[in-house]
Amino acid sequence: MADAAEEPVDEAAGDEAEAPALPDIKTRIEWFNDWEESTRDNQVNARRDRYYVDGHQWSDDDLEILKERHQPPLVKNYIAPKVNFICGEEIRKRVDPIARPRTPQHEDAARAATDALRYVEEEQHFDRVRSAVLRNMLVEGYGGALKEVEACPDGQGGVMYKHRLRHIQWDRLFYDPHSRDPDFSDAKYLGVVVWMDLNDALIAFPHAAGAIEAAVAKDIGESGSTTEDSPRRWIDKKRDRVKFVEMYDQFGKDWYRSTFTLGNYIDEPERTAYLDEQSEHSVCPLKMASCYVDQEGNRYGIVRMLVSPQDEINKRASKALHLLSVRQVIAKQGSIPDPVKFQSELAKPDGYAEVGQMTSLSGADPDVIISQTGDLAQGHVAMMGQARADIDRIGPSAAQVPDLPESASGRAVIARQQAAAQEMGSVFDYLLNWTLSIFELDWLCIRHPEYGWTEEKWLRVTDDQE
């Protein structure tokens, strides 16, 4: 046994056991480009879903066809009220953070933690950010927010830290396209992409002026971005704009933050400043959540399922109104002196149309037959009602539960609303998980050894004025 303990150590094996190096900038750019290429079609659909909520539900090609037919482009928007209904449910179900003691000896500590979390919640306008994230989940399919702690002067020569929770627009978020979990917990990387004017970028990143100017000097053309309001490349020569990527990627058990543009780092990769409960590993400050995920990893919201029946409603309503406004005419050649004027007069409520010599309008062989199209319009109206029922069956709707009498109690009204929103239980569960992740991140920031609350802090609590 003594001989075994005195065996020499292989120094070469110790060198091989060194930790692997972090991914380089080329790898990170490849990750970002992978996301762009993998989610191209889904981003186009997400933008279309937003258009439908805003009432823009006819394509340019369809509008041209309707214009040639003199057919009205009707829009009966049933999607926006459904989304607003769900957002109203979120407002009604808003929650405040609360810390529970595990033992009676920790009751005072739990109350202090609750007060601290609620103070931070109000400081960073959490309720407003949560509503914005939910709306992105319902419409585009996913949303997120970035936790930040900002150093500010305290007016006494010192520094105070303020908590910020910044909502990131859905089309400025990117993620690992191989992720499948609704909360992105299996994502290798997450991030934010922004475009900045060159002058603003040089002011924001003075330490990286050389890297920015080097990127601007390159003209790489198209890079595949699907964002319509953004140039499809890293550099926009027309406005001297540069695309910057702020990436958070996991390496081992730690999360790293880096900022880069084409081929150059703006901020080198470093561990995030947010540490876990044991202060051993860093965590990601960007928290995201999605509504639904298909087998290919595409994120989508409830609007995606409503587009098809909404199209049917608009097209059938437009067609029905058009059929009720026109008449079909079958005439022998030469029996109508001016066919255009004849059709124009028929379209008027008090029109007067003349025809040439004829045997009989109601005989066995009339020269002119005017056919009413009301029966066709009724068919479109009936099918439109079926499409409306299809929309009501997707997501919450008042049509899913029976009407209540005017004398119904408030409890009955609440039960009716809960029954209508029951189908969205999984979505609210995903939102609740996102909410808990933000509260946990707030608590980690409060306990942080550098910019956390390391001293006694007084929190002002308002009461009645009297």
The pLDDT value given to residue 313: 85
The pLDDT value given to residue 21: 82
Compute the distance between CA of residue 421 and CA of residue 415 in angstroms, rounded to an integer. Answer: 10
The pLDDT value given to residue 30: 93
The pLDDT value given to residue 173: 96
Compute the distance between CA of residue 47 and CA of residue 51 in angstroms, rounded to an integer. Answer: 6
Greater confidence, 339 or 461?
339
Compute the distance between CA of residue 146 and CA of residue 164 in angstroms, rounded to an integer. Answer: 8
- The packing angle between helices 25-38 and 40-53, to 10°, is 50
136 Cβ partners below 8 Å, 6+ apart? 142, 143, 144, 169, 170, 301
Q: Which range among 53-62, 247-256, 406-415 shows the weakest confidence by mean pLDDT?
A: 406-415
- Is the pLDDT score of 130 beyond 90? yes
Of 76-90, 182-196, 229-243, 317-331, where does the model show the most confidence?
A: 182-196
Q: Please report, as a single letter, which amino acid is at residue 200.
A: D
* Mean pLDDT, residues 41-57: 94
- Is the pLDDT score of 17 beyond 60? no
Greater confidence, 136 or 355?
136
The pLDDT value given to residue 209: 86
The pLDDT value given to residue 400: 46
- Is the pLDDT score of 340 beyond 80? no
- Identify the DSSP state of 101: P
Reduced to 3 states (helix: H, G, I; strand: E, B; else coil), residue 2 is: helix
Q: Which range among 225-239, 384-398, 414-428 shows the weakest confidence by mean pLDDT?
A: 225-239
* Cα–Cα separations (whole angstroms), residue 456 to 117, 452, 453: 15, 11, 7
- Is the pLDDT score of 177 beyond 70? yes
358 contacts 367 by C-beta, under 8 angstroms: yes
Reduced to 3 states (helix: H, G, I; strand: E, B; else coil), residue 352 is: coil
Other beta carbons within 10 Å of 117: 20
- Is the pLDDT score of 38 beyond 90? yes
Q: Which range among 199-213, 309-323, 394-408 shows the weakest confidence by mean pLDDT?
A: 394-408
121 Cβ partners below 8 Å, 6+ apart? 96, 97, 127, 439, 442
- Is the pLDDT score of 223 beyond 60? no
**Residue 355: phi, psi to the nearest 5?**
-130, 165
Other beta carbons within 10 Å of 426: 11
Compute the distance between CA of residue 390 and CA of residue 312 in angstroms, rounded to an integer. Answer: 10
* Mean pLDDT, residues 169-193: 95
Within 13 A of 61's CA, how many CA atoms are on the CB side? 0
Compute the distance between CA of residue 258 and CA of residue 271 in angstroms, rounded to an integer. Answer: 9
